Structure 1
Amino acid sequence: MAKIVDFDQAEKKARERNSEIERLKYTLSHAGISQEEIENALATLSKGTGKELYIGTKKSSQSKVRFAQYMQNNWEFLRKNKYLTTREKTFLLDIVPSVAFDSNCIVIDIKAKTPVPANITDIAEMLGSDRSNTSKTINSLKRKGIIAKSESGIDRNNARAYAIFINPHVIYAGDKDNINNALQVMFYKAMKMPVMKDLPDKLF
């Protein structure tokens, strides 16, 4: 007589085994403390403090390392479309160490508590270039939607000074999942421009 297999029962047992394996893995990865014990402890602490608590880990020393992200697919797209000149690409690569976190503004010192926006003269000095060529490159990148200018509110020698920002779709020093709102407004029109509107990776 053929043996009748109860597939529902077999599936139930398989789920129970998987659940038990997951509980064991959790216990082993949390110094032998079960998930239930941890959840009960958190519930007790939450009740005592009146706040919702969760388990976190201390930030590593690497979390303080400053870095900027190159949008690789977008760079490749711009390269294939010959959108940037060699001088413009060199400028963008060389200026990365001076791009402030979150604001994406080119600043004099990214380590300063309150970074000061760099003007064209500052940028020329940073790059070891002359002011005229630096100004031409910046204006060219501005026309292409790669750079934006905004009044910095800092007067130097009674002259109006501008802060210079880089489009985060090209280079971004910050959390790409939480783009600064001011940057989104600043580059809204730029992302409607020919070529730029077709970039493969959009952040906003």
Structure 2
Amino acid sequence: MEKEPHTCERTGMSPYVSVVSQPSAVTRLDCERKNGHRGAVVWLTGLPGSGKSTIAQTTEKILYDLGFQTVTLDGDNIRLGLCADLGFSEVDRNENVRRVVETAKLFLDRGFIVIVALVSPVRQSREKIKQVISPDDFLEIYCNCPLEVCEQRDPKGHYARANLGQISNFTGVSSQYEEPLQPALLLNTNMQEAGESARQLIKLVSEKCAVSVVSR
């Protein structure tokens, strides 16, 4: 049976309009050889306030200074632009993650090291992300920090508002966070500075994306 044409419900695209993937004249391997390293998606997950954004920014700057092609997709920045039309219902959260994954794939295809800082609280959802990206290209990084420490930090005041009932479906308060079972790296962010966490992450990424692996 012929595959049914792709349909985009959000844009109202006609079900009779076929969307066909267009190949690039420049392959991912071409980009990786020019960059001098492999691409990868480094996915930082953890409770709000666990240090994901700070670690992502520190890691990106050091990797950039070392000559790596990097880009950071931060949850807040994504919400201000690409996903500004989404709320925090389960459906909208899933769509938010889906868009981030597809964006990460585009950068990965150009040989970038893509650092994603996103709560992404559902374990099954993160497993799906790994399969979509490819297990060989995906590094799940768990920024582990006790809830009470995250609440004390509360840099954006979200926990305070969530505890007052002003924010619904807030992870850690009215919505559950499911810890990774086997992350590529566990960072105990309540016990070490962001710089130390970044150094551990950079070591892992450097080994994963070493120049010697580009010839694969």
Q: TM-score range, shorter-chain basis? A: under 0.3
Question: Which of 1 and 2 has higher RCO (CA within 8 Å, sep 6+)?
Answer: 2
TM-score between the two structures when normalised by the length of structure 2 = 0.26
Bigger radius of gyration: 1
Structure 1 or 2: larger helix share? Answer: 1
